Amino acid sequence: MLEYLDFIENKLAGLFGNIKLVEKGLLGLEGSYVELLTVLALGLLAVMPVLVPEKKRQSWRHLNQLFGIVIFIFVVFTCLGVFGMVRNFYRGLNEIGRENIIALYYCSVPATVLVTSMLFGPAFCGWICPTGALQEFMAMSTRRWTNAWRKAGHPFSWWMSLGMLAVALVFLVWMWRLSVTRMFFIEDASIYWSEVLIMLLFVLTFRMKDWDARLRRLRVLSFIIIVIGAVLSIRITSPVHFGFSKVYDPASFLSTVMVALGALLIPNVWCRYLCPWRCAISWAAKNSVRSIESERSKCTHCGRCAEVCNVAAVEDGTINRDECHFCMKCVDSCPSKVFTIKDDWGRKCKKED
Amino acid sequence: MKNKVMSGEGNIFSFPLRRYSSQVGFLAFLAMTIFCGLCSFADEAPWAGVRCGADGRASLSWNGASEINEWHYVYRSGRRYKSGLAVWTSPALAVVEGRPMAFIGGYDQTMHAMDLLDKKILWRKLTNAEIQSSAAVAKVGGLDTVFWGSCDRSVYAVLAYSGRQLWTRELVPPSNSLGDVNVSSPFVHGDRLYISCFAYDRSLTRNQQKGMLFCLALESGEILWKHEVTNGALSSPLVFTLDKAYLAVAAKRGLLSCFDISGAKPVLAWTFQMPHEVLGSPVFADLDAKGILYLGSKYGNLIAIDAKSGKEVWQRMAGNWIDNSVCVGQLDCRKVVFAGSHDYCVYAFDATSGEQLWKRPLGGEVFSAPAFFEMDGHPYLAAAALDNHLYILDAQDGAIVSSYFTGNPIWDKLAKGETLWGSPSLLSAGRESCVVYGSFNDVVYTLPLKKDCSLTAMARSPSALWWSLGIVFFVFGGIILPLTILLPLKQSHKDIA
């Protein structure tokens, strides 16, 4: 009996063996070679700002941010934080022409983020980014005090100094604890970003009003260092990296805590001064199809837009597109309706006409 | 007088040699044969199984004075790998023709014979599927021979120095519906080779999974017996001798089985059900009164089992996940069990009482089996962790002696617990001691332990860490920050400022 069944099986195997071009359907997707699910999920999250109703848009945004955190933890494979995204993009670009599927695997997340930024503006920062979301949620608890400090023109204040000292103390005690319990290596360099963050907090406590815009240029330096690290194959971990990877990473965890604590004092402090990926996104979104337009003639200088903006990208009806996270808080809160969202899909056609 | 001496009369040479020359020759030959036999028996299997011997210490002593240098061996770099696969298995070491050699296979389907002295590959043997388990080295007819199993369902026996194939043996017959076949590391005991394999036939008509145990003749590869242990995957077998020869093998689902293999067929002696799944292989320690088997389980239970009766002797928790085998070493006249765990710690327990002697946290999950070795009379331990570093620890107290960065995984996402990546093996040779380790970054490293090494981790001590933080403080505060503040702003920034 078995012999007959074997015979039939073999005949069937021979008959249907070579009909398809590939051995298995979705062969390239096996083992997550291509992050199709990631691309779909991030693409959907990036489209959400277009789809959600204007009413209660900020609630939808926070929901989107929560989904972003979940997606990055449970779905995305190749992100590993902002540093990892830069590194993987470089790695993926290197693979083009050699292992195209692997190239697609590594480029899928950064390419999706850049393409969606070109289309929908820098909405990744304001609507999806888990690091940004973490900072924003943290900053909510101290908004009353940070806003008062901003309105007063960022003068020296004792509570800011005490807060900064507390953050520095947490860093030093934690570093001491880690230094006696584990070995630190070059790829744990995110602790140096934490150190720089604390130094920045110290500087900003005294001179935020004068030096805020100048210090934001540190993002470019951060980006250059990460790119050089990627070229030299140095795997520097970034804040929240530990959340996306199964690998335990105390340096990354410590950096995440520092970023979260820093955001209590200065909202989105990481995004403002140190996030290297922000450089790429602002470049991609510079001429995005979707943008926020302002009509300054309508502005009554009530200061509401500056009050709600977490990254101080707007002032008296003027938006700095290099800094804007496209959270649309200013659009939703402006009583004079100075800001409007413009979908300029026909711009190119008009130019050609 | 002269003639007297020449004829041999009256002294020790008086024995009539010429007359009994044939008998003397035969006796000399017999004596030589017995001597050679004894010698070959003494070091019959320099690397008997997956982690060298029954105690799993994975180290080999060598008295050679030649220099062993650092070597990063890469072969067919840039291949596509599935995540979670054993890129390299644990290397088997042996001194062949007076030269220390390492034998290592992996996902490239090839067994590599590495000459550690000249840093060259003596031979490569391509099989028809990936090699997921370590090799064993034993003498066959006085010649060092390497044995290994490949996922092509076969066992290979190849001369260690020349690469000449002695025999191959197919364990499972081919079938067009047969899935992956996992063949374990072989264990050589006497003139027999023991190996297990797991075959999964997906055919509708004969859908079956079998975990089989095989006994092969060492010289010919003939299958002497085979025995179905369970319907799941099996660990590598371990052979130990008490009053008789026994074989222990653990099913992945947690059933540890012990067989009496002194007869023509294996006879089940006892079974022991572990509390959870088992990902490593058992190891054996011959304590004063009795033999004990040690096996770690998923979720961290390290259990000592009486090798004779199969009863639990002691049980301790070693973190939350033991991914691999443990090893047994000797510290100050007492035997100690070392285990790596996913709680980032290496544990040391007294082998007799189970008392925890020390535990040492490393930078990541300790996925490898620890290797125990002695260097200049002092005991050390080597273990690899998921922070991509290989650590050398002082076995007395667990202090970290040195660490080496052994590269990022070829895939960023690590599939913990889904595979056993390679573990380090040690060549203990005084100043020339070195560790051989096939890392999951596609490179096989030979790293000298007592000389400069390029992979030595850059921040090795708390003081170096604080120094580096100080340097960053001064560079950022003294150069970058002033420059950032002093350089003029672009117009777009001025708008917001």
pLDDT, tens only, A185-214:
666 788 899 999 999 999 999 888 889 999
Which of B161, B170, B109, B106 has its CA nearest to residue B137?
B161
> With left for phi above 0 and alpha for psi between -120 and 50, is residue B364 left, alpha or beta?
beta
Tens digit of each residue's pLDDT (9 = 90 or more) over B89-126: 999 999 999 899 999 999 888 999 999 999 999 999 99
Spell out which residues of chain B touch residue A203, defining contact as CB-CB under 8 Å.
481
B37 phi/psi in degrees, rounded to 5:
-60, -45
Q: Is B83 an interface residue toward A (CB < 8 Å)? A: yes
pLDDT attached to residue B12: 43
Tens digit of each residue's pLDDT (9 = 90 or more) over B219-275: 999 999 999 999 889 999 999 999 899 999 999 989 999 999 999 999 999 999 999
Mutant choice from A247, A272, A283 vs B, greatest count of B C-beta within 10 A: A247
Q: Is A246 an interface residue toward B (CB < 8 Å)? A: yes
Which residues, at least 6 apart from B461, have a Cβ–Cβ distance to it below 8 Å?
Answer: none
pLDDT attached to residue A67: 92
Helix, strand, coil share of chain B (percent; to 5): 15, 40, 45
Q: Do B78 and A98 touch (CB under 8 A)?
A: yes
Which of A133, A131, A166 has its CA nearest to residue A242?
A131
Query: For residue B36, what are its two tokens?
Result: 């050679």
3 state SS of B55: coil
- Cβ(B371)–Cβ(B321) below 8 Å: no
A258 phi/psi in degrees, rounded to 5:
-65, -40
B118 phi/psi in degrees, rounded to 5:
-90, 0
How large is the ipTM?
Answer: 0.83
3 state SS of B267: strand
Burial class (CB in 10 A: 0-12, 13-18, 19+), B351: buried
d(CA B391, CA B450): 14
Query: For residue A262, what are its two tokens?
Result: 């820093």
- Cβ(A83)–Cβ(A190) below 8 Å: yes
The CATH class of the B43-460 domain is mainly beta
DSSP line for B74-129: ESSTT----TTS-SB-PPEEEEETTEEEEEE-BTTSEEEEEETTTTEEEEEEE-SS
Chain B window 395-434: which residues touch A at a Cβ cutoff of 8 Å?
A: 400, 403, 405, 408, 412-414, 416
Residue B78 has pLDDT above 60, yes or no: no
Label residue B415 by pLDDT band (50, 70, 90): low
Alpha-carbon distances, residue A243 vs A79, A81, A250 (angstroms): 11, 9, 11
Q: What is the dihedral of CA B151, B156, B160, B163, to 10 degrees?
A: -90
Tens digit of each residue's pLDDT (9 = 90 or more) over A128-150: 999 999 999 999 999 999 989 98
Nearest CA in chain B to A85: B412
Counting as low any pLDDT under 70, the low residues of chain A are: 1-2, 9-10, 12-35, 77-80, 98-99, 181-187, 235, 242-249, 346-353
d(CA A163, CA A265): 7
Alpha-carbon distances, residue A164 vs A158, A197, A327, B195, B468 (angstroms): 10, 10, 27, 63, 22
Mutant choice from B441, B471, B484, B487 vs A, greatest count of A C-beta within 10 A: B484
d(CA B232, CA B210): 6
pLDDT attached to residue B418: 65
Spell out which residues of chain B touch residue A187, defining contact as CB-CB under 8 Å.
388, 405
Q: Do B389 and A180 touch (CB under 8 A)?
A: no
Query: For residue B117, what are its two tokens?
Result: 């002295």
Domain boundaries, chain B: 2-35, 43-460, 469-496
State the smallest CA–CA distance between residue B205 and chain A in angstroms.
Answer: 7
d(CA B355, CA A164): 46
Which residue in the block uniquely carries the two structure tokens 């296979």? B105
Q: Which helix (H) or strand (E) holds B482?
A: helix B481-486
Label residue B5 by pLDDT band (50, 70, 90): very low
